[in-house]
Amino acid sequence: MKKIITFMMIISSIIIFASINTNNFNIIKNIYQGKSITNIKPYPTNFKNQINYKNRSIYIIQNPLFIIGGQYITDWSNFERGLYLSDSLPYVNGITTGYHTEGINITSGVYFFSPNLTKQELLIQQNPAIDSNSDRAPLINTIYKNSGYSEPYKTYIIHSIEFNPWDFMRFSFSEINLVGGKFPDLVDINPLGILHNTYGEGYSNAMLAAELSLIPYKGFQIYAEYAQDDIVVGATEAGAEGYKPTAIAYAFGGRYVNKINDIYISPKIEYYTIYTWMYNRWQKLLKFTAEYDNIEIPMGFDYGNDMNGFLFGLDLYKENIEIKLTIENYNIGIINLDTNYNDERKKEKENWKIYSPIKNKTILGIKFSFEI
């Protein structure tokens, strides 16, 4: 009986409300104070040992470790439109884990998506030589015919190491592994692995990312982000333009945070460039997109690829209330994520950024959200 009572006392001591950052309020508050903290959301705001279940998610914190699992909105960016994993997705199903210290954070995420392939897309997945790689092209006429990776699985795996040497500076490096057509194994999800050594040809699409945040004085933040799906390096990859062309995205931004009474006010400006073939791929299960109610959404930049432009915003925060006003202006090329990845225009180097004819588009937006 004594053992049972002791066990119940332990459980009651750790089942308390978990302090989890799910929006930008805590980030904005710290910028106002001159501190740059992690932009990953959701993320613990303190590391007192605790367990909580809220809104289809479970939060477990055992300092210095944490686990967040279930269904939730996630965002790994300072930008309104993140480049490699943003809140463009309505929600994710999966798990975020991390190791937190004062100077270094290591965070991993594994998120599962339900694929929905047409008959034609399934045939492409089953074709081991769909990418026209010279080493695999003969396979389509051998016993390996129709044996490509086509199982109904699509998994987004990310692991990031974040350095915070001073309060005013934070930078991180991330590796992303999109595994499609097979259920991921330990090699795929290992947070200590390096993708150069574990990349699985035919079922894996890798991306590298980096980001930086500087606060030169209290209330003023400069931030940048870079994502690389692929890059062709000079003569060492001659002729590769027609195979997998350079596909990168980068963004720069700045914001100022002021406080009036208990309301934080933050005007900001952001610039984006998304190369023409960013996020795209031959196989649908290896495109950096996810489907919600039959609508295909990029996992990174909300509007897809082949564009550049500016975003001007005004954010207002009060505890769990968030209001965003945005004006965006983009130059948009004619190639999008519905464009066939076998398109001959991939070979034209000068159009790696934006493909003509280019149209200009202005977008006005307002967003209001709150948490109970």
Residue 234: what pLDDT? 65
pLDDT band at 14 (very low <50, low <70, confident <90, very high): very low
Residue 199: what pLDDT? 61
Query: Burial, 221: exposed, middle or buried (Cβ in 10 Å; 0-12, 13-18, 19+)?
Result: buried
More confident residue, 60 or 48: 60
pLDDT band at 285 (very low <50, low <70, confident <90, very high): very high
First to last CA, the chain: 39
* Euclidean distance between CA atoms 15 and 13, whole angstroms: 6
Percent of the chain predicted with pLDDT > 90: 60
More confident residue, 5 or 210: 210
Residue 3: what pLDDT? 40
The CB-side HSE value for 175 (13 A sphere, CA atoms) comes to: 18
Residue 320: what pLDDT? 79
Instruction: Please check the confidence at residue 7 and state whether its pLDDT lies above 50.
Output: no
Residue 94: what pLDDT? 96
For every residue of 334-349, DSSP letters joined together read S--TTS-TT-GGGG-G
More confident residue, 301 or 232: 301
| pTM for this model (two decimals) | 0.89
Instruction: Please check the confidence at residue 157 and state whether its pLDDT lies above 90.
Output: yes
- Give whole-number Cα distances, 263 to 108, 318, 365, in Å: 33, 5, 21
Instruction: Please check the confidence at residue 354 and state whether its pLDDT lies above 80.
Output: yes
Residue 11: what pLDDT? 33
pLDDT band at 370 (very low <50, low <70, confident <90, very high): confident
pLDDT tens, position by position, 300-348: 999 999 999 999 999 999 887 899 999 999 999 999 999 999 888 888 8
pLDDT tens, position by position, 125-141: 888 777 666 555 555 55
How many residues make up the chain in this entry? 372
Which structure tokens are listed for 314? 């005004």
Residue 78: what pLDDT? 95
Residue 80: what pLDDT? 96
Q: What is the mean pLDDT of residues 27-48?
A: 93
Summary mean pLDDT of the chain: 86
Segment of 148-157, 183-192, 241-250 carrying the highest mean pLDDT:
148-157
More confident residue, 120 or 328: 328
Q: What is the mean pLDDT of residues 14-31?
A: 75
Angle at 360 between CA 358 and CA 361, to 5 degrees: 135
Instruction: Please check the confidence at residue 236 and state whether its pLDDT lies above 80.
Output: no
Instruction: Please check the confidence at residue 260 and state whether its pLDDT lies above 90.
Output: yes
pLDDT band at 61 (very low <50, low <70, confident <90, very high): very high
